[in-house]
Amino acid sequence: MARDVTFYLARADNGVIGRDGGLPWHLPADLRRFKAMTMGKPMVMGRRTFESFPRLLPGRRHIVVTRDEGWSAEGTERAASPEAALDIAGDVAEVAVIGGAQLYRQLLPHATRIELTEVHAAPEGDARVDAFDPADWIEMAREAHAAEGDRPAFDFVTLIRRT
């Protein structure tokens, strides 16, 4: 069965996706979209991404990639490599890859779709993801949202890998 490997991420105009283990912005609409789109799906993430959560995210499997053989956390499944995480996810229609930056780089060859929130800001940060090459990706949808108060403008964008 063919399955989608979908990246879910919010990325600032300068490539920043994180700062000090968290997001450098607060966009409730992005969090609602993330929850709705990942509900019921296995989520693959790096250990630091998992450890940035205040608790397990309900309704989703948590597959955590770490080389630390002794690492475990209740409610998670440990994978020794990104490819092993995809295997652990099993025969499902979609696997959600939710970060961090290193895992996005490692799994990019496997990605079939990207659900991207383009945050129109240039915050300081210590986790970055390069822009996705338009030679490899087709933009299928875009929904623009204006800035509100101290929240920057952002766009929800769906990219599909060119075949």
Q: Under a CB-based contact definition with an 8 Å cutoff, are residues 4 and 114 in contact? A: no
Q: Under a CB-based contact definition with an 8 Å cutoff, are residues 104 and 2 in contact? A: no
At a CB cut-off of 8 Å and minimum separation 6, what does 22 contact? Answer: 52
Residues in the chain: 163
**Burial label, 65 (beta-carbon count in 10 A; 0-12, 13-18, 19+):** buried
Instruction: Write out pLDDT tens, residues 118-134.
Output: 999 999 999 999 999 99
CATH topology of domain 4-161: Dihydrofolate Reductase, subunit A (3.40.430)
Q: What is the mean pLDDT of residues 31-46?
A: 97
> What's the distance, CA 8 to chain centroid?
3
Average confidence score pLDDT of the chain: 96
Q: Is the pLDDT of residue 2 over 80?
A: no
Instruction: Write out pLDDT tens, residues 39-93.
Output: 999 999 999 999 999 999 999 999 999 999 999 999 999 999 999 999 999 999 9
Q: Is the pLDDT of residue 1 over 90?
A: no
* Confidence class for position 34, pLDDT limits 50, 70, 90: very high
Euclidean distance between the first and the last CA atom of the chain, given in angstroms as a whole number: 17
The domains of the chain are located at 4-161
